[in-house]
Amino acid sequence: MKLDQGFSEVNGTRLYYEQAGDGRTIVFIHGFSLDCRMWDDQFNAFAQNCHVVRYDLRGFGRSAPASDDAFSPVQDLQTLLEDLSVQRACVVGLSLGGAIAIDYALAFPEATDALIAADSGLIGYAWPRGRPLAGPAEVAATEGIDAAKHAWLGSELFVPACEQADVSERLTEYVGDYSGWHWLNNNPAILSDPPAIERLENIQCPTLVIVGERDTQDFHEISEILTQSIPNANLCTIPRVGHMSNLEDAEGFNLAMLDFLE
C-alpha cells in the first residue's frame, strides 16, 4: 500500500492528511480528543480496494493548533477534499466526527456518496443527561489538563474500551497527545444553522448508523433519531462494545461498513 501523507493549506490553517488506495473514496473523521490514528484498522483494510482519506481536524493531532478564529469544520473538509481532487466521497465519522459527517452531508449533498455515522454526535441534540465534555472541562479549569485527561478516559464513554488492554493503550496514547485546548477555551467552530437535528430528512444519500451495544443512552437516542429521521438510513448495533466501536471490535465494524458499501 502506497501512503501519501502531508499538509494541506486550508482556510487559514494547516490540516494533516493521509491517503492511500484507488477506487471509491472513503473519508474518515475522528472523535474528540483523538486523531486520525484511531482509524488504523479501517484505513489499512479499506485501502486494499478503495481510495481512503483520513485527516486531523484543526486543533487535533498533527494539524495546526486551535485558535480563537471562527471556522467551519465542514468547510475545512470540503476544501481539503478539493485540494486532494476528490469530487464525491463516502463520509465516515465517529462521535464528534459523526456530527461533522452529518453536517457535511447536509451542506454538500452532491459531494456525499454515502454517510456512515458511528456512535455519533448530532448538532441540536439537547444532551438531557449532560454533555460528555462538561466534566473534564471543569476538572481542567480547577486541576489542569493532565487531570482532565485522566477524568475523560475514566468516564463512562470509555469503560467498555478500557476493558481491552490494547484498546486502552491506544486511547491513552491518543488522548495523551491531545493539547486539551478545547477544555479551557470557547470552541470557535461554526455549527450547522438551523441545527442538523431539524433537517435530517434532507439527507438523501444511503446512510448507515452504527452504535455500540454498550454505548451510553444519549448516543443510543441519537442513533434512533438518525435512523428514524434520515429517509435512507439503516441501523447496525455492534454487540458487546461501547462508544469506541471501531476500536473495540474492528472486524465487526469493518464488516458492517463492507456490507453497507456493497
pLDDT in tens, 176-222: 999 999 999 999 999 899 999 999 999 999 999 999 999 999 999 99
For the chain, give the secondary structure using H, E and C.
Answer: CCEEEEEEEECCEEEEEEEECCCCEEEEECCCCCCHHHHHHHHHHHCCCCEEEEECCCCCCCCCCCCCCCECHHHHHHHHHHHCCCCCEEEEEECHHHHHHHHHHHHCHHHEEEEEEECCCCCCCCCCCCCCCHHHHHHHHHHCHHHHHHHHHCCHHHCCHHHCHHHHHHHHHHHHCCCCHHHHCCCCECCCCCCHHHCHHHCCCCEEEEEECCCCHHHHHHHHHHHHHCCCEEEEEECCCCCCHHHHCHHHHHHHHHHHHC
Tell me what pLDDT residue 70 has: 95
Where the chain has pLDDT below 70, the residues are: none
Give yes or no for a cis peptide into 194 (omega within 30° of 0). yes
Tell me what pLDDT residue 1 has: 77
Domain ranges for the chain? 3-129+188-261
CATH T-level fold of 3-129+188-261:
Rossmann fold (3.40.50)
Q: How many C-beta atoms surround the C-beta of residue 81 within 10 A? A: 24
